Amino acid sequence: MISTKGRYALRLMTDIAAYSGGKVVSLKDVSARQEISPKYAEQVVSLMVKSGLLISVRGNNGGYVLAKSPENYTAGEILRAAEGTLSPVACIEDNSPRCSRIGQCPTVDFWRGYYKAVTDYVNGVTLEQLANAERDKVGNDYNI
């Protein structure tokens, strides 16, 4: 399962992309709209800053701005910045400690394929697409 860090990161980035209009926006506003604990949102957003996906502005009237335009972000890079890796197993990551069974393990190739299926998918979705979904959905608060 993807943890709340990854899920919140995606929603926070989507919100900023959808509503900031390129201006600095405070996390207070973003987290309120997304109903995410402001203090926890801070920690998630700090991962985005550290990865260079968001630019922070400190002080009064400060906040965050996207580092590039929404169509140039993929969901994959946001999730990786939050989660660390999307690899299903440790042994196929870069810099993984060598598994002694790697030469005889029948499932390594299977996991590589799994990883590729996930990677291809998340790298194929842009933040712009998510932001459009956000704007489309507002007002559509139908309870199924």
Partner DNA sequence: ATTATTCCTATTGACATAGTAGGAAAAAGA
Partner DNA sequence: TCTTTTTCCTACTATGTCAATAGGAATAAT
Residue numbers at the binding site for a copy of itself (CB under 8 A): 1-2, 7, 10-11, 14, 18, 35, 75, 87-90, 98, 100-107, 109-111, 113-114, 117-118, 120-122, 125, 130-131, 133-134, 137-138, 140-144
Bridge partners for 54 per DSSP: 66
Instruction: Tell me if residue 105 falls in helix, strand or coil.
Output: coil
Cβ–Cβ < 8 Å for 27, 64: yes
What angle is formed at CA 17 by the lines to CA 129 and CA 49, rounded to 5 degrees? 120
137 binds DNA (CB under 7 A): no
95 binding DNA? (CB under 7 A): no
Q: What, of DNA, a copy of itself, none, does residue 118 touch, CB below 5 to 8 Å by kind? A: a copy of itself
Is 37 among the residues that bind DNA (CB under 7 A)?
yes
Please give the Cα distance from 15 to 45 (Å, whole number). Answer: 12
Q: Enter the tokens of residue 141.
A: 């608060």
**Site membership for DNA, residue 40 (CB under 7 A):** yes
Site membership for DNA, residue 107 (CB under 7 A): no
Q: Nearest approach, Cβ of 131 to a copy of itself (angstroms)?
A: 7
**Separation CA 22–CA 20 (nearest Å):** 5
Count the Cβ atoms, other than its own, within 10 Å of residue 70. Answer: 19
CB of 61 to a copy of itself, least distance (A): 27
Q: Which residue has the tokens 């989507």?
A: 14
**Contact set with DNA (CB under 7 A):** 3-5, 26-28, 37, 39-40, 42-43, 45-46, 49, 56-64
